[in-house]
Amino acid sequence: MRITVYLGTGGVGKTSVAAASALAQARAGHKALVLTIDPALRLRTALRLREGVLEQQVDLEPAATGELWAALLDVRATLDEAVHLYAPAALVQPILRHPIYATIADSLVGMQELMAVERIDQLARRGFENLVVDTAPSRHALEFLDKPMFFADLVSSNWVRLVGRTYKFVAGSGLASLGRKSIDFYQRVESILGANLVRQVLDFYSIFVSIAEGYAARAEKTVALLKDPAVTEFRIVTTPQKAQRDARYFVHALEQRRFRAGGLLVNRVWDLPAEGIEAPGLAGEALEWYRAVSRAHRQALDAVQREFGGRLGVIRALPELARDIDGMAALERIAPLVFP
Ligand SMILES: Nc1ncnc2c1ncn2[C@@H]1O[C@H](COP(=O)(O)OP(=O)(O)OP(=O)(O)O)[C@@H](O)[C@H]1O
Ligand SMILES: [Mg+2]
């Protein structure tokens, strides 16, 4: 199994580069799947992605020796699938119909990151050998990895287990069976949130606990895959202006967690206009400005090459296209430039 995860700050091209990278793998003969998060509308249309559809194959013209598959990280669909796979049969419908379930997918902070790890596990089970994973823009550290680990630790903690497990017992035998401290705690929470909501939440937790605890075990397994340098490689996407800062930040964050940093893709690099072309007046000024920016991009590339060439495997420049990456034609242009 091989997993390639694309990281980066907002809007640098993670989703586009991840899709191009999966396309490159398909063209190299592999069955590759790109798991994308929130692609721009036209890219979503090009990959024929729809809410609620788990994954689908993308037609390629001309056909590739491998296959390109695409999937949206749909939090609700991933969670539904986990319920079907892991809840005891008798609990599947009570969970799916529970009023709290309808809101949990959207309201739980970090649900997207939690479900990304769950989804990787589901895809691996379905036999996808080459996964390319797009991530949401990371504001602090590697939320994509830190949140699932945190949640796994949390649900396997004794405290949460105790609350989840004792609730059924409490509901059956009344608060009197609990120690004084616990009664105070329940009552305080009830007075803030309302008894009805608290009961619903606890009720939901008590039937959901099997999924949550199973999640912890699966997340640990997936994170172990992500930590295995023979399986997973993390690539940083950035733009020339941000290249040095982003490289320092992400390389440090990856090294700290002992993840394999496999490369840096500097996206949206302007082509340097050929020397000797001159233009009069305003056009000439625009050309000069264009040259100055292009040279600055080259200098930024040289600087990251000097600083990170040794530590980062591959460093590649991807050109600024004349238009957005909005369809298969644009992906085909970028794909050969992304190392497969
Ligand atoms: N090399 C490029 N040339 C031209 N346009 C590009 C290039 N790379 C990305 N874009 C455009 O920039 C926009 C942002 O790209 P994309 O959605 O891939 O970034 P992202 O990092 O995934 O963003 P977010 O952080 O919001 O998820 C899109 O409209 C895309 O078409
Ligand atoms: Mg994106």
Left if phi > 0, otherwise alpha if psi is -120 to 50, otherwise beta: which for 18? alpha
State the ligand closest to the CA atom of 334: 1
Count of residues in the chain: 340
- Using CA positions, which residue lies closest to atom 11 of ligand 1? 324
* CA-closest candidate to residue 258, choices 275, 222, 290, 234: 234
* C-alpha 179 to ligand 2 mean position (Å): 49
Which residues, listed in sequence order, are joined to residue 317 by a DSSP beta bridge? 266
Which residue's structure tokens are 């640990």?
A: 220
| Cα 268 to ligand 1 centre (Å) | 9
Are the CB atoms for 222 and 35 separated by under 8 Å? no
pTM reported for the whole predicted model: 0.85
Per residue of the chain (340 residues), what is the pLDDT tens digit? 999 999 999 999 999 999 999 999 999 999 999 999 888 888 998 898 887 778 999 999 999 999 999 999 888 888 888 889 888 899 899 888 887 787 776 665 567 888 888 899 999 999 999 999 999 887 666 788 888 877 777 666 665 566 655 555 555 555 555 566 666 666 776 677 676 666 666 677 677 777 777 888 888 889 899 999 999 999 999 999 999 999 999 999 999 988 999 999 999 999 888 788 888 999 999 999 999 999 999 999 999 999 999 888 899 999 999 999 989 999 999 999 998 7
The four Cα atoms 149, 154, 157, 158 give a dihedral, to 10 degrees, of: -170
Integer Cα distance of 145 and 117 in angstroms: 8
pLDDT of residue 172: 53
Residue 87: left (phi > 0), alpha (psi -120 to 50), or beta? beta
* Ligand 1 atom closest to the CA of 10, numbered from 1: 25
- Among protein residues, the one with the nearest Cα to ligand 1's atom 15 is 13
Among residues 50, 64, 8, the alpha carbon closest in space to that of 245 is found at 8
Pocket probe mutation, ligand 1, options 324, 331, 337, max atoms within 8 Å of Cβ: 324
Coil/strand/helix, residue 132: strand
CA of 165 to the centre of ligand 2 (A): 39
Q: Is the peptide bond before 229 cis (omega within 30 degrees of 0)?
A: no
Measured CA to CA, the distance from residue 198 to residue 183 in angstroms comes to 13
- AA letter at 317: A
Q: Backbone dihedral region of 296: left (phi > 0), alpha (psi from -120 to 50 degrees) or beta?
A: alpha
Instruction: List, in order, residues 6 or more apart from 217 with CB less than 8 Å away.
Output: 152
Distances (CA, A) of 29 to 26, 57, 67, 262: 5, 15, 7, 21
Contact 227, 120 (CB under 8 A): no
Which residue out of 16, 35, 242, 271 has the highest number of ligand 1 atoms within 8 Å of its CB and is therefore the one to mutate?
Answer: 16
- Residue 59, SS3 per DSSP: coil
Q: Which helix (H) or strand (E) holds 192?
A: helix 180-193
- What is the rounded distance in angstroms from the CA atom of residue 153 to the CA atom of residue 208? 17
| CA of 19, closest atom in ligand 1 | 18
Q: Which atom in ligand 1 lies closest to the alpha carbon of residue 326?
A: 31
Residue with tokens 């099997």: 210
CA 44 to chain centre: 16
The candidate with the shortest Cα–Cα distance to 55, out of 29, 17, 81, 85, is 81
Backbone angles phi, psi at 114, to 5 degrees: -60, -40
CATH match of 2-143+222-337 with 3.40.50.300:
yes
**Which of 7, 15, 21, 338 is the best mutation target for the ligand 1 pocket, counting ligand atoms within 8 Å of the beta carbon and taking the most?**
15
Type of residue numbered 140: H
**Is residue 269 within 8 Å of 305, Cβ to Cβ?**
no
Q: What is the largest CA-CA distance in the chain?
A: 89
CB within 6 Å of ligand 1 — which residues? 8, 10-16, 38, 40, 137, 267-268, 318, 320-321, 324-326
User: What confidence score (pLDDT) does residue 272 get?
Assistant: 83
Q: CA 181 to CA 18: how far, in whole Å?
A: 51
DSSP 137: P
pLDDT, residue 212, reads: 74
Among protein residues, the one whose CA lies closest to atom 2 of ligand 1:
320
